[in-house]
Amino acid sequence: MKLFKIENNRLGKMLSKSATSKQQNDERLDRYIKAKEFRDETKILMTNLETISDPNVHDYLQREQQ
């Protein structure tokens, strides 16, 4: 019976550690996605519209910059 309690405690700790790792990985992924979105938005804002020859792309970027 004592062996079962020890194994249950060990399994509980492993599951807890696994859940914590998953949460940390999810948080890292969220930060990565937000940073990528920020870089993409910054790239759009910094684009010189005079260098865009395609009128559709030019209009899109102009709307995004406003």
pLDDT in tens, 30-48: 999 999 999 998 988 888 8
- The contacts of residue 54 (CB under 8 Å, 6+ apart) are none
Predicted confidence at residue 26, as pLDDT, reads: 95
Task: Show the CA angle centred on residue 5, arms to residues 11 and 20, nearest 5°.
Answer: 25
What angle do helix axes 55-65 and 2-46 make, rounded to 10 degrees? 110
pTM beyond 0.75? no
Structure tokens belonging to residue 55: 């009128």
Cβ neighbour number for residue 61 with a 10 Å cutoff: 18
Predicted confidence at residue 37, as pLDDT, reads: 94
Count of positions (residues) in the chain: 66
- Is it the case that residue 27 has pLDDT exceeding 90? yes
Q: What is the mean pLDDT of residues 23-27?
A: 94
